Structure 1
Amino acid sequence: MVAGGGLPHPLVYMHLLGDALHLHADWALYVMHTWLAMAILFLLAFMVRGRLQLVPGGLQNVFEMIIGGLEDFVVSNIGEEGRRVFPVLITLFLYILVSNYLGLVPGCDAPTANLNTIIPLAVFLFLYYNFHGIRKWGFGYIKHFMGPVAALAPLMLVLELISHFARPLSLTLRLFGNIRGEEIVLILLFFLAPVFSTVPMYFLFLLAKTIQAFIFFMLGTIYLQGALDHAH
């Protein structure tokens, strides 16, 4: 609609303003939940740090079990070099885990159900493991992309590069699809059968969200193992 003088009708501006405010509200909500996940992690860390005991108990025992078990997993796969990269891996795991769990809190959304969270995490992990591979092997890192047969090296180089550059996409779609899908199912079940279906599904999705965080952690470990191992 055009008003006198060829200018758009004022209602057009009101409509555009409403759309902009809606987008800003969604963005603010997403950022708020992202910071909430980080605040929870900081709070838990300070709580554990302030009550450290020689004989662990309570929250300290839970964290030591999680961190110790995952560190053993990384070291068993990568070797002693895994202790150097473990802090980054466990940070990614804990952040994704807490972000996933937020989706089960009424009134909250999981930051990991938003591509703005997952894409940076996936790209960071991609850059991180390649950085360590280049740091350790230098130009020889390219051998990791050329396969064991010299005659097939050009073909393998192309295929491996495509495979590696597809990893951030696969990490993103896997986590986003699972977390967003679970939240949609919970919303539908809540309206169809609020009590009898939603409560049992909470426990099932709690397990699923834990598994998704571990899969991201495990794939990061595998990628780092491949970058740090000798090329065959």
Structure 2
Amino acid sequence: MAGGLPHPVLWSSLAGMDYITINGTQTEFKHVFYTWIAMAILFSLAFLVRGQLKMVPGKIQNVFEVIIGGLENFVVSNIGEDGRKIFHVLIALFLFILTNNLLGLVPGCDAPTANVNTNAALALFTFLYYNWIGIQRWGAGYIKHFCGPFWWLIPLMLPLELISHAARPLSLTLRLFGNIRGEEIVLILFFLLAPIFGTIPIYFLFLLAKCLQAFIWFMLGMIYLKGSLEHAH
């Protein structure tokens, strides 16, 4: 079931991996199963491209060079040369989230990012990483990023900034979850109402939307990292 609506037969159901029992409690495992599939796809593509690196790139290498090279230039143009030091994390998040999103469009698969637990883990990692980068860069002086431009604003700005930063993981989690789960529910509705003519156009629209959601996470992560690397005013 997806959002109370009938869902096509999933590979996880056939493999008996929708739920597992831990200490006598049945726990949903479907999103973990498809996360493993996403990881297997990414690792397979990475080894495939690495084994065929050429001075004159082939089709697969060319695609990855365009995506990774273009996004790296985008990060460096916004953050500066420091962007190259943290780009590997941003591109890993982008490719991982993109693959997870697109799995929801594959017959028999479900998008792990349509489960709030997957997104919460990714959001918590993003939150901890950009704060760790800020602490690593500025040490104890990183606290100045939360204090405002003037010392007399500290009592006002410090609580507001801490609440604002603490809300970021929740915002990242719910934004991605709501969009991906909502798209899948709408796709199922169109499939039930008009199996072919209603589904195919919306299918390609959601293909674009799922790519956009991965890029939005990438953008927000870049903005958070840029803030942690900049000098506090």
Fold equivalence (TM over 0.5): yes
How is 1:180-219 mapped onto 2 (pairs within 5 angstroms)? 180-219=181-220
Question: Could you tell me which residue of structure 2 aligns to residue 70 of structure 1?
Answer: 71
Provide the TM-score with structure 2 as the length reference. 0.88
Question: Could you tell me which residue of structure 2 aligns to residue 81 of structure 1?
Answer: 82
Distance across 2 between alignment mates of 1:184 and 1:26: 22
Distance across 2 between alignment mates of 1:119 and 1:155: 29
How is 1:119-198 mapped onto 2 (pairs within 5 angstroms)? 119-198=120-199
Question: Could you tell me which residue of structure 2 aligns to residue 226 of structure 1?
Answer: 227
Q: Percent identity?
A: 71
Consecutive aligned runs of 4 or more in structure 1 exceeding 4 Å deviation: none
Residues 19 and 30 in structure 2, CA contact (< 8 A), matched pair in contact too: no
Distance across 1 between alignment mates of 2:131 and 2:88: 17
Change (3 A) 1:204 1:171: same
- Opposite residue 70 of structure 2, the aligned amino acid is G
Please state how far the C-alpha of 1:23 moved relative to its aligned partner.
Answer: 4.2
Q: What value does the CA root-mean-square deviation take over the aligned residues?
A: 1.4
Please state how far the C-alpha of 1:51 moved relative to its aligned partner.
Answer: 1.1
How is 1:91-102 mapped onto 2 (pairs within 5 angstroms)? 91-102=92-103
Change (3 A) 1:68 1:131: same
How many residue pairs match? The answer is 212
- Which ranges in structure 2 are unaligned for 5 or more consecutive residues? 1-16, 21-25
Change (3 A) 1:118 1:22: closer
Change (3 A) 1:220 1:22: closer
Relative to its length, the structure with more helix (as a share) is 1
Question: Could you tell me which residue of structure 1 aligns to residue 35 of structure 2?
Answer: 34
Distance across 2 between alignment mates of 1:182 and 1:28: 21
Question: Could you tell me which residue of structure 2 aligns to residue 106 of structure 1?
Answer: 107
Please state how far the C-alpha of 1:28 moved relative to its aligned partner.
Answer: 3.4
- Opposite residue 188 of structure 1, the aligned amino acid is L
- Which ranges in structure 1 are unaligned for 5 or more consecutive residues? 1-20
Asked which structure has the greater CA Rg, the reply is: 1
